[in-house]
Amino acid sequence: MTEPTPVAAPRRAALAPAAPGHLSADIVARARELIALYPEPRSALIPLCHLAQEQDGWLTPEAMVDIAGLVGVTPGEVLGTASFYDMLHTEPVGRYVVAVCTNIACLLGGAAELLEHAEHSLGVGSGGTTADGTVTLEEAECLADCDRAPCVQVNHRYVGAQTPESFDRLIGELRSGARDTEIPPHGTLIRVRRTGGLAADPAAVAEERRAAAQARAAREAAADGGGA
Amino acid sequence: MAITDPPKIVTSRLGYDDSHTLERYLATGGYEGLRAALARTPEEVAAEVDAASLLGRGGAGFPAGRKWSMLRKNPVTYLVVNGDESEPATFKDHLLVERDPHQLVEGVVIAAYALQVTRVFIFLRGEFALGLERVQAALNDAYAHGAVGRDIFGSGFSVDVVVHPGAGAYICGEETALLESLEGKRGFPRIKPPFFPAAIGLYGDPTVVNNVETMSNLPWIMTNGGAAFAALGGGRSTGTRLFALAGHVANPGVFELEMVKTTFDDLINAPVLGGGIPHGRGLKAFIPGGVSAPWFGPDQIDLPLGQDEVAEAGSMLGSGSVVVMDDHTCAVRAAWRITKFFSRESCGQCTPCREGSGWLERIMERIERGDGREQDLDLLMDACDNISPGVAWPPQQTTICVLGPSIPSSISSAITMFRDEFLVHIKEGGCPYD
């Protein structure tokens, strides 16, 4: 029998920065309000990624370092989580992300033809960004607006069913800024504000969680006893 | 069968442009169900929902009352509302969160009271930017109105409701993946049984997960009684349900219909509903409950819209979405696109799903392109069999969650119903519909 190798102390404490250096004071203040809504800070990781995209348009490495510090994980864990999700862009995207759904209902409504037109018209393939940095084209999965097929979203705002002609008009209006009121820049929370914090007694929540942990421990102890 | 004229339970306000505001909500009986609930004990409220026999509207169709009663023995810590609507061609929750967010909030507080939880998370699909705004605005107003927060309507009951945005991943509609995502992690479904969220849920604590539409039914049930709800529909499928109709119909949309009393034929062809297939074309096939469901053909159009009735016929009512394909639709192309979706959305944990979906997608794509081989049909079924042994319905499972066994549905349906069409693609070296 050899002695087990001592486990090194977790490195995350050393990696976490003392204070966010990239995200703006306003974003950090909103981030702290969001974190306060959850029993565990890490739950705010994805909402914070949305806030970072609001500021930068995409999820920059610098923002991920700040988010890691705010929720108490490593920057690698932020990237490892964010890279799972379609809405979180770990590479730069255009000012407008134009998502064309080609899933079944939209396919039946001519979405493949619309996407082909969009690729020709914009001169980029799906996933590409126009040279002027205005538009990133995405082939999307179902966006839950199937009675208006083929369905298109711009920065996650529904713009209704599109034909090739109306699509070109839409792009023109985006470029001229004519749709700026209706379609804000990035960040699905950009117009979401909670006006108050939590009102229920936090001690009650803590008590419930303590009781649940106790019940779980009792159940596990019973299961261990039964298996022996 | 006929189209009945049931009360509008969850869509009663949708005729108003301002249906999302507190003013309209209060003017149309809003928060009366919550007041009725708070006047009774939590057990009585749960019993009322039990009496309604409300089946969960998310897709699995588990009775909501029973889901709650499984928990009444132990204290529940969290209620989580699943608003991650991503099943292709399903767009009913989209409507409910944007157009009647107060109804959702009221339902949520009623459920929280019945379960005696003090913290609720409403997980909304990140792509619902307007929905997120509307539900948060409704919550802000509801807090100010005293319907959420501390000492609701002077009852002594307090609950906080938090809106949580997703970030684009179909798998997060699966309840354990949703909980992982809510914990700030990749949306990997958890292994279960033995422990379902009711035992080990959010942060390892007992958690109830219910769908948006399920919650939205609760105000009406509290106001009108569970018996009135159970009097609608038939068999186990009580009440009304939202059906999202899309594809080749004249009038696609979301329709609230009495379960069982209405048929697929009514939904697709009635002038006041789907309005039939346009351009004088015929029906080729329809998908009765989301793209995870096996397809039906014209022979099954007289089936009633009931959970058990559809299950007995070999498919599922699932998420309540119905996709209609006319006789000019290429079955290979349709099944290929659905397979591509599953391949993109597989979370990657389980080999049969991760590898199988990509493999199936590539074979389907080459058949559609005209480069398929006759053996490909057997190869497809063999790969499907590796994901879901027997390729039967209800499916066997080799994976952690049901995404895997959902993959074979469209392929095996298309091959069974339209084998000749595959062979034409292969023999002629291309798609006959191009």
Residue that is written with structure tokens 């393939």 in the block: A125
A103 with A38, same domain?
Answer: no
Q: What CATH number is attached to the domain comprising B353?
A: 1.20.1440.230
| Residue A62 falls inside a structural domain | yes
Task: Measure CB to CB from residue B167 to each of A39, A49, A195 and give the nearest one.
Answer: A49
Name the nearest CA neighbour of B326 among B269, B411, B272, B370: B269
* Whole-number pLDDT of residue A228: 40
A176: left (phi over 0), alpha (psi -120 to 50) or beta: alpha
Q: Same structural domain for residues A113 and A51? A: no
Closest chain A residue to B247 measured between Cα atoms?
A105
CB B421 within 8 A of CB B331: yes
Q: Give, in degrees to the nearest 5, the angle at Cα B231 between B230 and B236.
A: 50
ipTM: 0.96
**In this structure, are residues B108 and B122 in contact, taking their beta carbons and an 8 Å threshold?**
yes
Tell which of A77, A115, A147 to mutate to test the B interface (max B CBs under 10 Å): A147
The answer to the question of residue A226 being in a domain is yes
**How buried is residue B312: exposed, middle or buried, by Cβ count under 10 Å (0-12/13-18/19+)?**
exposed
Q: Which amino acid is at B282?
A: G
Tens of pLDDT along A62-89? 999 999 999 999 999 999 999 999 999 9
Asked whether residue B105 is assigned to any structural domain, the reply reads yes
Look at residues A133, A218, A110 and name the one whose alpha carbon lies nearest to residue B329.
Answer: A110
Q: Are residues A154 and A225 in the same domain?
A: no
Number of domains present in the structure of chain A: 3
Residues of B with Cβ-Cβ distance to A84 under 8 angstroms: 169, 186-187, 347
- Rounded to an integer, the average pLDDT of A130-151 is 97
Whether B419 and B340 map to the same domain: the answer is: yes
B248 and B308, same domain (yes or no): yes
Give contacts of B 200-219 with A, CB under 8 A: 200, 203-206
Place of tokens 């292709």: B88
Helical H runs in B370-399?
A: 376-387
**Are the beta carbons of A211 and B75 separated by less than 8 Å?**
yes
Distance CA A87, CA B169 (A): 8
Residue A139 in any domain: the answer is yes
Judging contacts by C-beta atoms under 8 Å, the chain B residues touching residue A222 are none
The partner residue sitting opposite B186, judged by closest CB among A81, A86, A193, is: A81
Let me know if residue A31 belongs to a domain: yes
Q: Do A145 and B94 touch (CB under 8 A)?
A: yes
Q: How many CB atoms lie within 10 A of CB B87?
A: 26
Residue of A nearest to B151 (CA): A200
Do residues A165 and A213 share a domain?
A: no
A87 located within any domain: no
Question: Which of B326, B354, B379 finishes a domain?
Answer: B326
Q: How far apart are CA B230 and CA B50, in angstroms?
A: 10
| Minimum Cα–Cα distance from B330: chain A residue | A108
Residues B33, B149, single domain; the answer is yes
> Among A141, A145, A192, whose Cβ lies nearest the Cβ of B136?
A192
Question: By the CB < 8 Å criterion, does B278 face chain A?
Answer: no
Burial of residue A212 (CB within 10 Å: 0-12, 13-18, 19+) is buried
Query: Is the pLDDT assigned to residue A15 strictly greater than 80?
Result: no
> What's the number of CA atoms in the CB half-sphere (13 Å) around residue B134?
21
Residue A182 lies in a domain: no
Domain with residue A146: its CATH number is: 3.40.30.10
Q: In angstroms, rounded to a whole number, what is the distance separating the alpha carbons of residues B370 and A59?
A: 41
Kindly state whether residues B216 and B95 are assigned to the same domain. yes
A228 token code pair: 């022996």
Which one of B209, B230, B251 terminates a domain? B230
Same domain, residue pair B139 and B253: no
- Mean residue pLDDT of chain A comes to 90
Which helix (H) or strand (E) covers residue B246, if one does? strand B240-247
Spatial distance between the Cα atoms of B44 and B340, rounded to a whole number of angstroms: 47
pLDDT at position B3: 79
pLDDT in the model for residue B98? 98
Domain membership flag for residue B341: yes
**A33 contacts A198 by C-beta, under 8 angstroms:** no
Verify that A126 and A149 share a domain, yes or no.
yes
A77 and A101 housed in the same domain? no
- Looking at the fold, whether B131 and B29 belong to one and the same domain comes out as yes
> What pLDDT is stored for residue B73 in this prediction?
66
- The answer to whether the CB of A23 falls within 8 A of the CB of A31 is yes
- pLDDT confidence tier of residue A208, bands split at 50, 70 and 90: confident
The arithmetic mean of pLDDT across residues A113-120, rounded, is 98
**Which residue in A has a C-alpha nearest to residue B327's C-alpha?**
A108
Co-location of B409 and B359 in the same domain: yes
Contacts of B245 in chain A (CB under 8 A): 147
Q: Which residue has the tokens 């009931």?
A: B306
Are A24 and A72 within one domain? yes
- B window 350-369, beta carbon within 8 A of A: none
- Number of domains composing chain B: 3
Where is the domain boundary, A134, A160, A176? A176
Q: Are B392 and B385 in contact (CB under 8 A)?
A: no
| Amino acid found at A110 | G
3-state secondary structure of A146: coil
Domain that holds residue B388: 331-428
Of all residues in chain A, the one with the smallest CA distance to B334 is A104
> Which H/E stretch holds residue B256?
strand B253-258
A75 occurs within a structural domain = yes
Q: What is the pLDDT of residue A227?
A: 44
B contact residues 172-191, partner A, Cβ 8 Å cutoff: 181-187
pLDDT at residue A201 greater than cutoff 50: yes
In terms of domains, do B220 and B190 share one? yes
A104 and A73 assigned to the same domain: no
Amino acid at A187: G
- Whether residue B57 contacts residue B63, with contact meaning beta carbons closer than 8 Å, is answered with no
The domain spanning residue B251 has which CATH number? 3.10.20.600
CA distances from B114 to A35, B155, B217 (A): 27, 13, 14
Of the three residues A24, A59, A82, the one that is the final residue of a domain is A82
* B115 and B215 share one domain: yes
Q: Which residues in chain B have Cβ-Cβ distances shorter than 8 Å to A138?
A: none
β-bridge partners, B286: B296, B324
Domain membership of residue B8 (yes or no) is: no
Q: Which helix (H) or strand (E) holds B247?
A: strand B240-247
Per-residue pLDDT tens listing for chain B (434 residues):
567 888 999 999 999 999 999 999 999 999 999 999 999 999 999 999 999 999 998 877 888 888 887 766 677 889 999 999 999 999 999 999 999 999 999 999 999 999 999 999 999 999 999 999 999 999 999 999 999 999 999 999 999 999 999 999 999 999 999 999 999 999 999 998 878 898 899 999 999 999 999 999 999 999 999 999 999 999 999 999 999 999 999 999 999 999 999 999 999 999 999 999 999 999 999 999 999 999 999 999 999 999 999 999 999 999 999 999 999 999 999 999 999 999 999 999 999 999 999 999 999 999 999 999 999 999 999 999 999 999 999 999 999 999 999 999 999 999 999 999 999 999 999 999 98
Contact B149 A43 (CB under 8 A): no
Task: Provide the pLDDT for residue B72.
Answer: 62
Rounded-to-integer distance, Cα B202 and Cα A220, Å: 18
Q: Which residues of A151-163 are buried (b: 16+ CB within 10 A; e: fewer)?
A: bbbbbbbbbebbe
Indicate the residue of B143, B164, B187 with minimum beta-carbon distance to A84: B187
Residue B155 is which amino acid? S
Question: Rounded CA gap, B198 and B178, in Å?
Answer: 14
CA end-to-end distance (rounded Å), chain B: 38
| Nearest alpha carbon to residue B27 among B102, B91, B92 | B102
- Count each helix (H run) and each strand (E run) in chain B, helices first: 19, 10
Strand partners of residue A154: A98, A157
CATH number (domain holding residue B173): 3.40.50.11540
Residues B41 and B175 both lie in one domain? yes
Is A195 among the domain residues?
no
CB-CB neighbors (< 8 A) of A213 in chain B: 204-205
Same domain, yes or no, for A110 and A148? yes
Q: Which of these three, B303, B326, B349, is where a domain ends?
A: B326
CB contact set of A121 (below 8 Å; sequence gap of 6+): A164, A167, A168, A171
Binary contact (B246, A149; C-beta < 8 A) = yes
CATH number at residue A59: 1.10.10.1590
Residues B209 and B241 in one domain: no
- Yes or no, beta carbons of A108 and B164 under 8 Å apart: no
Q: Which of A191, A82, A157 shows the shortest CA–CA distance to B134?
A: A191
Q: How many CB atoms are located within 10 Å of the residue A123 CB?
A: 11
Of the candidates B125, B159, B337, the beta carbon closest to that of A102 is on B337
Which residues constitute the domain of residue A157?
A: 96-176
Q: Are B163 and B208 part of one and the same domain? A: yes
